[in-house]
A and B are shown apart, each in its own frame.
Chain A
Amino acid sequence: MTETTKVRVPQTAKGHRPTFFEDPTNDRIMAMMTSMITEMWVVRERLDTVEALAAKKGVFLEEEIEQFEPDPDRAEERERMRQELLSRVFYVFQEEAEDIARGDTPESYEDAINTSADR
């Protein structure tokens, strides 16, 4: 994710990703929606923390927020954050793409079950 990182921690699991609906599009939508609720909560909780901290210091933020214009650095940082949000919400496509890249198929998954059962 960052350029200073030399080692890339794995982000997807080896093994064909199962789907459950007749149309796998529905599985993608479910996955995105589930991720989206998570991210929504993350924002909501941060906001709650900000409000709580500000209130503790007797600071009234509402009007300042309405007037706020980000400087270029912050604008750039926000673009990075948006891209991260997008990759989290659309993570299911990364799962599927990496399945394809690795050659993971339903058959290779079945093979793994059979191999470990030594049939």
Chain B
Amino acid sequence: MTPDWSHDDKSRQAFQRSLRECVIRDLSNGSRLVFENQVSPKFEKENGRPFQNRQEIKAEMRKEPFYQAHLSIQRAAQELMWASVTYSLDRQIDGMMAKAKQSSDTLGSLTINPDMPIPKYIDSLDIHCMPGGYTTDLCDGDISAGAIYDKGSYMYGSGRGGPYGDRSGQSIVNYLKREHPDFAPKRILDMGCATGNNTVPFCDAYPDADVHGIELGAALLRYGHARTESLGKVIHFSQQNAEQTNFEDESFDLIVSCIIFHETSRKALPRIIAETRRLLKPGGLMVHLEAGQFENFDLWRQTVFDAETYNNNEPFWSTYRDMDLEAVIAEAGWSDGTAHLHLEPFGHAPVTSSNKSQKNILGFWFMVGQK
């Protein structure tokens, strides 16, 4: 079922990765210099005060030709990254679908629910400019969204997700093994599992556990199921909305998610966290992994992140990163102080009280709770 990339496909994909690095290195750095050396001093001189928020910065920066060219090329690079995958997949999707169908259930399972309503927040724009988005289902047995996502998300993360695209899941496992070394969950749920790349580490970390993954996109799930079977791992996939699942109360020991919060909505997010609580057994753990809130970053980084909302089809990204997550946790029923936020910086350095107040620490944010 693995796509057969031609010599030219591989050249194109390698080049898109180089291009992304170049955009990040040269263009983003250039824009930061334009901001720090020109736009910011000019604004202070004219207004007698520094910039107060990212909206003010955006308004001034969007007049700068360098920044205009930067954003324009960055947008094109994002589109061309996907194009380096989709053109070629279009050639071979029929053969891949046939092979995926042959690998029927042997280890795990797949349950598709064509009647599940697709929530608007996941479907109103094709998130990250991924052609077709997560939920396009072209035909019975379609796996194209999964095939596009698997390759594209690897390129999107410039390979930082690792060869198996499982670094986020692995980070949760590392955290659990360190903080809860004796924890031995029997039943595990990954919410919004996409193609299950980040679900697999839980199979390896807890080999005696039943591992489940739910996801909105049928074609992501079909691809994920076939991929998981080919890796010899056991995951039970089902098409469900994490806001309201069909699992029984108190039926999981561990519930996780990897970077799904910012792709939901203001109403859906507390529902997902409340659903997590409903599904957890007493003593069970939730670990939701996400990007950090805007308050943890300086105004320029906020501006850079905010540009994704408008230029990279991320409708909830900025709203989410402005939300008070402590309040959301309480709203979702975790008001007894059993849930908290935890920062896990890239590069394994544990968070201490001294660096917690620093700005611009890049890493994963965990919403952790024990019921």
Contacts and interface: CB of A to CB of B under 8 A. Distances in A.
B293 interface: no
Interface in B14-49: 15-16, 19
Contact of A4 (B94, B264, B309): B94
A88 to B, nearest CB: 7
Q: How large is the interface on B (under 10, 10 to 19, 20 to 34, 35 or more residues)?
A: 35 or more
Nearest to A104: B125
B132 A112 contact: no
A90 B126 CA distance: 21
Contacts of A51: none
Interface string B126-160: 10011111001011001010001000000000000
A34 B80 contact: yes
Contacts of B126: 10, 13-15
B131 A20 contact: no
B111 to A, nearest CB: 23
A97 interface: no
B353 to A, nearest CB: 33
B265 A117 contact: yes
B266 A118 contact: yes
Interface string B258-299: 000000111100000000000000000000000000000000
A1 B316 contact: no
Contact of A14 (B80, B90, B133): B133
Given A19-B72, A117-B319, A38 B131 contact: no
Contacts of B136: 10
A18 B310 contact: yes
Interface in B245-269: 264-267
Contact of A42 (B11, B71, B72, B142): B11
A26 interface: yes
Interface string B206-235: 000000000000000000000000000000
A66 to B, nearest CB: 24
A61 B302 CA distance: 55
Nearest to B65: A21
5 contacts: A14-B133, A17-B75, A21-B68, A42-B15, A117-B315
Closest 6 CB pairs of A and B: A10-B132, A15-B125, A112-B124, A13-B126, A10-B131, A31-B76
